[in-house]
Structure formats: C-alpha cells, structure tokens
Amino acid sequence: MTTATAFEKARADGRAALVGYLPAGFPDVAGGIDGLRAMVDAGCDVIEIGLPYSDPVMDGPTIQAAAQQALEGGVRIADVLRTVEAVAATGTPTLVMTYWNPIERYGVSRFATDLANAGGAGLITPDLTPDADPAWAASADEHDLDKVFLVAPSSTDERIAMTTAACRGFVYATAVMGVTGARTTTSDLAGPLVARTKAATELPVGVGLGVSTGDQAAEVASYADGVIVGSAFVRVLLDHADDRAAGLRALARLTEDLAAGVRRA
C-alpha cells in the first residue's frame, strides 16, 4: 500500500490516519522492529522510522535520548534499512525520517535505490526544504518515493505553496514553533496552519509535534488528515527499559488509545 492509499482509506472511513514514529535501533535493532510491528498491529496506518543522527536540532530531549542510545548501540544505516524492510513487509507504508547529512554522505541516489529495494515508501526531511537542494527530489522521482517536506506556523503562504508543490504522499505540518516532544495542551497554531496548507494543496496534511494522548489525537483529527505521534511512543519504551514485554504491551495500549482518538473526531 502506498502512503497516499493509506490516507485515502482513512478518509473513506471518515477519520484521520494515525502515523507512528520510532527511531531505528532503539532500544536495539530487534527491539525497534518489535516495537514498530506492535504499533502496526495495534492500529498505526503509516510508520515513520527515524534515522538516528548525532546532531538532531529539531528533536527534544525524549527523541534525543533514544537516538543517542541507538548510536551508542552502534546502529548503522544498513540497520535502518533492515528495520524498514521488516516493517514494510507488514504492508504498512513505511517512511524514513532523517536529517540530511547521513543521506548526503551515503549518496542520495544510492540511498533512494536501497530504500526502494527495502520496500520503503519515502523520506521525511526535517532539515531539508525543497529549495535547499534539488538532489533528493530527482532521486525520489526516479524511484517513486514519497517526498514529505515540513510546513511550519511561520511559513509564508508563498513558501507553503512552494513546499506542498514539491511534496508527494502527504504534507507534514508542525503544530508548534518548537522541537519534538509531548505537550500537555494542543497547539492553537496547528488549525490555522492546516487551513492555509489545505488551501494550497489536495495532498493530505498530517500534524505532528506534541500529540501524546487519544484525546489530543481526536482534537487534531477534527481538522487534519493525519495525526503524527513520536515522542510519546519513545517515552513508553524509555519508561519500560527493564521489561521489553511490558514495553510492547504499553506501546500497543497507547496505539489503541490514539487509534480510537482519530476515530472519535
């Protein structure tokens, strides 16, 4: 299934899609695959796999801690691709979320080829805007990979038009001016941003940054096509570091709560 199909299917059901994130190699490569599969089984419609990076400027403390643990555990890009392959095999569209330097270093064209061969759906690029470098768009097009760029509350309408025109799959709207991390209240900036984004594109718009509960998911689902959750899943695994089985059960429970939330809007 493509990412676009997953969003269409959710829309046909009269609900938003649930997009779940974990970094690869956290708590280790096998544990990360188990976690992501548990999230798929419990109701995630789309999966994002983070490529751990040494300098994650858009991430708050929770995801930083997970990425650092993965890197200290020796995770390599090959492990990220192996994780993609294992999760994509479930049939759920699986994207990689990555800062740009690891891709440039690996080779943009080579990465696109290897990601496509692993069954990956595409890339989400938090520090690469479409106007920063055209290399990714060219390689993604060659392999029919999704190009998910971000729009932010500070984006001008002109930039939203430019960014959405370059996206394939969906558009990632950052709900707050800030970094990743669970927040107790949802943002009042997200709704207007989604409205401005939808005025510019037919693509589905997913909202990320700060959502951690079913109630917040329901609220975001009332105006967005997708609800993106990352830090809350990571937090569950960090809180169950001593008991993998309990961690997977808690991950499933959180997924179910969020999946119910996106159906409640």
Partner 1 sequence: MSIHATTPYDADARGWFGGPEGFGGRFMPEALVAALDELTVAWQDAMADPTFVGEFDAILRDYAGIPSPLYFAERLSDKVGARILLKREDLNHTGAHKIRNVLGQALLTKRMGKTRVIAETGAGQHGVASATAAAYFGLDCTVYMGSVDTKRQALNVARMHLLGAKVVAVDSGSATLKDAINEALRDWVSSVDHTAYLFGTAAGPHPFPTMVREFCRGIGDEARRQSIEQYGGLPDAVVACVGGGSNAIGLFTAFLEDEDVAIYGFEAGGEGFDTGRHAATIHAGERGVLHGARTFVLQDDDGQTVESHSISAGLDYPGVGPQHAHLADAGRATYLPVTDVEAMDAMALLARTEGIIPAIESAHAIAGALRLAEERQGQTILINLSGRGDKDMGTALEYFRLGQADAETGDVK
Q: Does 73 bind partner 1 (CB under 8 A)?
A: no
Q: Does 129 bind partner 1 (CB under 8 A)?
A: yes
Please give the Cα distance from 220 to 183 (Å, whole number): 13
Residue from 127, 215, 256, 257 touching partner 1 (CB under 8 A): that is: 127
Three-state secondary-structure class, residue 178: coil
Q: Which two tokens mark 70?
A: 């993965």
Residue from 50, 93, 120, 126 touching partner 1 (CB under 8 A): that is: 126
Tokens 């930039």 -> residue: 159
Residue from 60, 120, 169, 206 touching partner 1 (CB under 8 A): that is: 60
Residue from 30, 71, 116, 238 touching partner 1 (CB under 8 A): that is: 71
User: Least distance from C-beta 35 to partner 1, angstroms?
Assistant: 22
Q: Does 40 bind partner 1 (CB under 8 A)?
A: no
Please give the Cα distance from 216 to 192 (Å, whole number): 17
Q: Does 165 bind partner 1 (CB under 8 A)?
A: no
Residues whose CB falls within 8 Å of the CB of residue 137, separated by 6 or more in sequence, listed in order:
130, 147, 166
Q: Which two tokens mark 197?
A: 């984004």
Residue from 3, 139, 164, 174 touching partner 1 (CB under 8 A): that is: 174
Cα angle: 38, vertex 58, 243; to 5 degrees: 30
Q: Which two tokens mark 187?
A: 């943002």
Backbone angles phi, psi at 186, to 5 degrees: -80, 160
Q: Own/partner pairs for 184-189, CB < 8 Å, 24+ apart? A: 186/210, 186/211, 186/216, 186/219, 186/220, 187/153, 189/153
Q: Does 54 bind partner 1 (CB under 8 A)?
A: yes
User: Least distance from C-beta 57 to partner 1, angstroms?
Assistant: 4
Q: Does 102 bind partner 1 (CB under 8 A)?
A: yes
User: Least distance from C-beta 132 to partner 1, angstroms?
Assistant: 5
Residues in binding contact with partner 1, number by CB under 8 A:
43
Residue from 6, 42, 84, 151 touching partner 1 (CB under 8 A): that is: 151
User: Least distance from C-beta 77 to partner 1, angstroms?
Assistant: 5
Of 29 and 254, which CB lies nearer to partner 1 in the complex structure? 29
Cα atoms in the 13 Å half-sphere on the side-chain side of 251: 31
Q: Catalytic residue positions?
A: 48, 59
Question: Can you say whether the dihedral through the CA atoms of 55, 101, 95, 160 is positive or negative?
Answer: positive
User: Least distance from C-beta 107 to partner 1, angstroms?
Assistant: 10
- Please give the residue ranges that form the binding site for partner 1 (CB under 8 A): 53-58, 60-61, 64, 68, 71, 76-77, 100-106, 126-129, 131-134, 149-156, 159, 163, 174, 176-179
